[in-house]
Amino acid sequence: MKKIAAGAGLSALPLTVTDIFAASDRALGAELKGKINHSVCKWCYSKIPLETFAQECQKIGLKSIELLGPDEWPILKKYGLTCALPNGAGMGIEKGFNDPANHDALVKSYEELFPKLQAAGYTTVICFSGNRRGMSDIDGMRNCAEGLKRLMPSAEKYNVTLIMELLNSKVNHKDYMCDHTAWGAGLCEMIGSEKFKLLYDIYHMQIMEGDVIATIKKYHKYIGHYHTGGVPGRNEIDETQELYYPAIMKAIVDTGFKGFVAQEFIPSRKDDIASLKQGVTICDIA
């Protein structure tokens, strides 16, 4: 922050998020600091064609655009970008591994995707628990473990880690099962493989359980990926919302995490790219 302040002519510390944003264009003209591997979720910028968006992300210094499928990966490579978390195979968010009736189809679709991921040089893929539909948490955990264990030999073979997303069931994804970090950590223990991790979505988990920094510190060994988002509203991650992201990023770095943090907020202003630059700058801690 001191370097940003000096470069922008700001002498007073501590900086506010607005101060950081005011310095963002100048700060991002140089290389990012390197403590955070920055990614972004394309679906939040649906109005911008992928090729145009890739060029803008490259200018900002992002390393990745994620939640994309095989047909879109060549555009990323064209601009020196990776896909830190590719789209998964299967049935979407609501029909996941907690229902044994889905297992055969899910296993088949993921096993068909693994070689494509390896050929592209990608080592992760997203997956989902599915909705409860009256199922108990322990039965759902056992069912998820049963289905996911079937994929672990292939995941090892192709060096792919399945990343299950933690989502809130209070506002956005009613009835979703993997909605608390402790439940996800229990599933990780039940599976017992480094090829299965959690996507800790900060927006979703702030809504469900709060206590974000303490939770990250407690469960970091189970977390393979992070997403951002402003609470409330899932918009910009500045002082318009209730979380202070520089402190959260510091907590993530302090755990030794070497993976990616992806911006997954929905821009609410006219200039989507300016909002993305702001989010990256806020998270780009020294």
16 or 4, greater pLDDT: 16
Contact 147, 97 (CB under 8 A): yes
Task: Look at the block and give the residue holding tokens 């990608």.
Answer: 122
Helices (H), the chain: 2-8, 17-22, 24-27, 50-60, 73-78, 103-120, 137-149, 152-158, 181-191, 202-208, 212-219, 245-254, 272-283
The CATH number for 70's domain is 3.20.20.150
**Is 2's pLDDT higher than 90?**
no
Cα–Cα distance, 220 to 213 (Å, whole number): 10
Specify the pLDDT at position 178.
98
**Is 221's pLDDT higher than 70?**
yes
Token pair in block for residue 17: 């998020």
Nearest-Å Rg of the Cα atoms of the chain is 19
Specify the pLDDT at position 17.
52
Report the percentage of the chain scoring pLDDT > 90.
87
Instruction: Give the mean pLDDT of the chain.
Output: 92
Tell me the pLDDT tens digit for each residue of 185-209: 999 999 999 999 999 999 999 999 9
- When divided into structural domains, the chain yields a total of 1
Residue 116 domain-assigned (yes or no): yes
Residue-range definition of the domain harbouring residue 193: 35-283
Residue 201 domain-assigned (yes or no): yes
Mean of pLDDT values over 59-64: 97
Residue 105 domain-assigned (yes or no): yes
Half-sphere exposure (Cβ direction) of 127: Cα atoms closer than 13 Å = 34
Residue 22 domain-assigned (yes or no): no
Mean of pLDDT values over 176-191: 98
Specify the pLDDT at position 27.
45
Hey, what's the torsion of the CAs at 214, 216, 222, 224, to 10 degrees?
180
Residue 19 domain-assigned (yes or no): no
Specify the pLDDT at position 74.
98
Residue 101 domain-assigned (yes or no): yes
In this structure, the number of other CB atoms found within 10 A of the CB of residue 47 comes to 8
**Is 6's pLDDT higher than 80?**
no
Cα–Cα distance, 207 to 197 (Å, whole number): 21
In this structure, the number of other CB atoms found within 10 A of the CB of residue 35 comes to 14
pLDDT band at 38 (very low <50, low <70, confident <90, very high): very high
Q: What angle do CA 101, 194, 96 make, to 5 degrees?
A: 20
